[in-house]
Amino acid sequence: MAHQWQGIINEYRERLPFDDADAVVTLKEGGTPLVRAEKLAARTGAEVYIKVEGANPTGSFKDRGMTSAITQVVKEGTQIVACASTGNTSASAAAYAAKAGLGCAVILPAGKIAAGKLAQAIVHGANLVAVDGNFDDCLRIVRELTEKYPVALVNSVNPYRLQGQKTAAFEIVDELGDAPDIHILPVGNAGNISAYWMGYNEYAGHTTAASMDESATRLEPHATRLPRMWGVQAAGAAPFVAGHPIENPETVATAIRIGNPASWNYAVAARDDSRGWIRAVSDEDILRAQRILAEEVGIFVEPASAASVAGLLAAAESGEVPENARIVCTVTGNGLKDTATALAGRDIDFDPIASSLDAAVAALGL
């Protein structure tokens, strides 16, 4: 019988801070597709794979961190969780809180959440508050809230989030047989780049500053090498490129519209220790990469997710992609969450035709 994926904690428990007695809160997240992208290989001269995190239960990689964060909350007996969110964290927190029977409070920047993500938080029964401010303001409020009230913080400053998220690196190594040469991903609050770097290191038998215990140094290594980490920000929200926080971040890629990343030091370590970089791409390049992924690879991602591929294409255009390098791009969230941005500027007013084959053939120009 074929193995059925059991969720990241059950699949990788010996490398996570849980033991067999812990009751796992899971929606069977992880085990996402790693898709070879021949058209992107042709455009870049590299061997390119796309890690499709939009295939997670709530449509983003946030589910990997949420299964471990919520499992720990239940273990500790807290009844309510809270998060600040650009959308996907709240969608994921609301779903996992529903599964676990917990209350979920969500603090959002007013008017800056894609409709699909807002719908998710609402249908899963979260208690929503919209703030006249940006994500960074929301995170400040929720940090204070969770310090003063018996409410658990499930943003990525919660170390259990990064523990779950590191498993994406394990899956890539398990599938490719070793780490790729280069790993590219979008950078917003910078938890994910930190988590991948931890995952690649732990699978190679090392720990990083983000590691929670020494298990990686006891267990048999599964990788012999580490990738370079290339992080990609949106030009209007690029604090790592500026070298300091950005006051009023602005980008069409709302999931990375963050000016003051919480995991700053971990991300800088991932960049420098891997001899990688964190750069910025324009919104225009992000939307172009989104279209290329949809039209040439068959994967519909939300704008923030396309930043990784936009970064790859920009590096290729400036001749910085080593020939035949093995490259994995993470695409972080599902395109269905934000159809408004994907359809902007397109003609979607179809004039109805007569209901006959002839009319259809004529309209299709066949």
Ligand X SMILES: *Cc1c(COP(=O)(O)O)cnc(C)c1O
Annotated binding site: 88, 188-192, 332
Q: Tell which one of 7, 164, 191, 199 touches ligand X (CB under 6 A).
A: 191
Binding residues for pyridoxal 5'-phosphate: 88, 188-192, 332
Of 47 and 287, the one with the shorter C-beta distance to ligand X is: 287
SS (H, E, C) 245-297: CCCCCCCCCHHHCCCCCCCHHHHHHHHHHCCCEEEEECHHHHHHHHHHHHHHH
| Residue 336 structure tokens | 């269905």
Closest distance between ligand X and the C-beta of residue 238, in Å?
12
Q: Does 166 participate in binding ligand X (rule CB under 6 A)?
A: no
Q: Compare residues 16 and 232 and give the one whose CB is closer to ligand X.
A: 232
Token match 């969450």: residue?
337
d(CA 107, CA 110): 9
Output the smallest distance, CB 345 to ligand X, in A. Answer: 21
At 350 the three-state DSSP class reads: coil
Distance CA 49, CA 267 (A): 22
| 236 near ligand X, judged by CB under 6 A | no
Binding of residue 305 to ligand X (CB under 6 A): yes
Coil, helix or strand for 193? helix
**Considering beta carbons, is residue 47 or 334 the nearer one to ligand X?**
334
168 and 180 Cβ atoms separated by less than 8 Å:
no
Output the six-digit token pair for 24: 């796992």
Of 134 and 189, nearer to ligand X (C-beta) is 189
Residue closest to ligand X when measured from CB atoms: 333
Is residue 198 near ligand X by the rule CB under 6 A?
A: no
How far apart (Å, rounded) are the C-alpha atoms in residues 25 and 359?
Answer: 53
Alpha helices in the chain (DSSP H): 8-12, 38-44, 62-76, 88-100, 115-123, 135-148, 159-165, 167-176, 191-203, 215-218, 239-242, 264-273, 283-292, 303-317, 339-343, 357-364
> Does residue 57 belong to the site contacting ligand X (CB under 6 A)?
no
44 binds ligand X (CB under 6 A): no
Q: Which is nearer to ligand X, 26 or 308 (CB)?
A: 308
Considering only residues 3 to 42 of the shown chain, the ones binding ligand X according to CB under 6 A are none
Distances (CA, A) of 168 to 7, 116, 340: 12, 24, 29
* 332 contacts ligand X (rule: CB under 6 A): yes
State the Cα–Cα distance between residues 73 and 238, nearest whole angstrom.
Answer: 32
Q: Pick from 66, 255, 289, 293: which binds ligand X (CB under 6 A)?
A: 255
CB of 55 to ligand X, least distance (A): 13
Least spacing, CB of residue 22 vs ligand X, in Å: 24
Beta pairing partners, 281 = 234
* By CB under 6 A, residue 251 contacts ligand X: no
Binding status of residue 56 toward ligand X by CB under 6 A: no
Total binding residues for ligand X by CB under 6 A?
18
Residue 58 binds ligand X (CB under 6 A): no
CB closer to ligand X, 47 vs 193: 193
Q: Nearer Cβ to ligand X, position 192 or 201? A: 192
Encoded one letter per residue, x for contact with ligand X by CB under 6 A and - for no contact, window 70-109 reads: ------------------x---------------------
Among 51, 62, 124, 271, binds ligand X (CB under 6 A): 62
Q: Which residues 6+ apart lie within 8 Å of 262 measured at CB? A: 139, 155, 156, 157, 189, 190, 191
3-state secondary structure 206-257: CCCCCCCCCHHHHCCCCCCCCCEEEEEEECCECHHHHCCCCCCCCCCCHHHC
Least distance (Å) between residue 297 CB and ligand X = 17
Q: Which chain residues interact with ligand X by CB under 6 A? A: 60, 62, 88, 156, 186-192, 255-256, 302, 304-305, 332-333
